[in-house]
Amino acid sequence: MALKLNESCAVVTGGAKGIGLATTKRLLAEGCKVTIWDIDGKAIDDVIAGLNSKGKLFGDVVDVTDKEIVYSAAARAIEQMGKVDILVNNAGYVMGGDFLDQPDEIWEKTIDINLTSFIYTTRAFLPGMYERNRGHIINISSAAGGLGVPGLSVYAATKWAVWGLTESLRFEAINAGKKGVRYSSIHPSYIKTGLFEGARIPFPGSLLVPLVENHDVIAKAIVESAIKKGRYSPKRPVTVNLTARTRALLPDFLFQKVLMLLKIPQSMKTWHGRR
């Protein structure tokens, strides 16, 4: 059964910008209490000051790559809101570039933020969800979590891993008889602004997988499709679904030819990221 948002409490990581902020706004509009975690304290203050949250919005400066900081912040969120029913693992990092051109610290940071932090936060909040047999963990994966993309090798690796983590935990909950604890993995393609600014699939692939217009498109998928309707793996745009289906139907050499024809492997050549 889907959670009643006006009776729920959520933590959104990376909640002061982008998808996290858009999701926070939608959750607040549904009457949900929300604690946003972000590394940027000023951004948190600006969000809290700018939203009419009626006392339902809280913020905490959290480095999600630090296990002890995460566990301490989780305890504060539970104390402040009384419980945490919804966890949106949204914190993310991307640095485009070919694999051999990236220094070790880049791939280490990518793994720490995009994968390891998801494990820390889940370990912090899942016990309470199991105890109440009530909760929903939403992990932001990517369209690159089902398709390797040149210039995004380690990022793609983390997003494939997030999908695998989500699916494994989903079945663990079923095996444990905790059917009230749900999971969703969200798979957005390139968004016009934010971390992937500048990235775009050239024609003709752009006809099949257009850019996502704004962060609220993904926030809507999180709140309306994942939380309210219980969808496991929403993808935006919905044509991203064709990737897995095409891969399943075609021999590998044909699948590669289709990708090259659509120019999907060229999509990171114009990337410059958030400015």
Active-site positions? 155
Place of tokens 């402040």: 80
75 contacts 127 by C-beta, under 8 angstroms: no
Neighbour-count burial of 54, counting CB atoms closer than 10 A to its CB (0-12 exposed, 13-18 middle, 19+ buried): exposed
Spatial separation of the C-alpha atoms in residues 231 and 213, rounded to whole Å: 22
218 contacts 226 by C-beta, under 8 angstroms: no
| First-to-final CA distance of the chain | 41
Spatial separation of the C-alpha atoms in residues 24 and 215, rounded to whole Å: 11
258 contacts 181 by C-beta, under 8 angstroms: no
114 contacts 159 by C-beta, under 8 angstroms: yes
- Angle, to 10 degrees, between the axis of helix 104-111 and the axis of helix 153-175? 20
- Angle, to 10 degrees, between the axis of helix 252-262 and the axis of helix 241-249? 140
Which amino acid belongs to residue 149?
V
Q: Where are the beta strands (DSSP E) in 80-231?
A: 86-89, 135-140, 181-188
57 bridge partner residues? 34
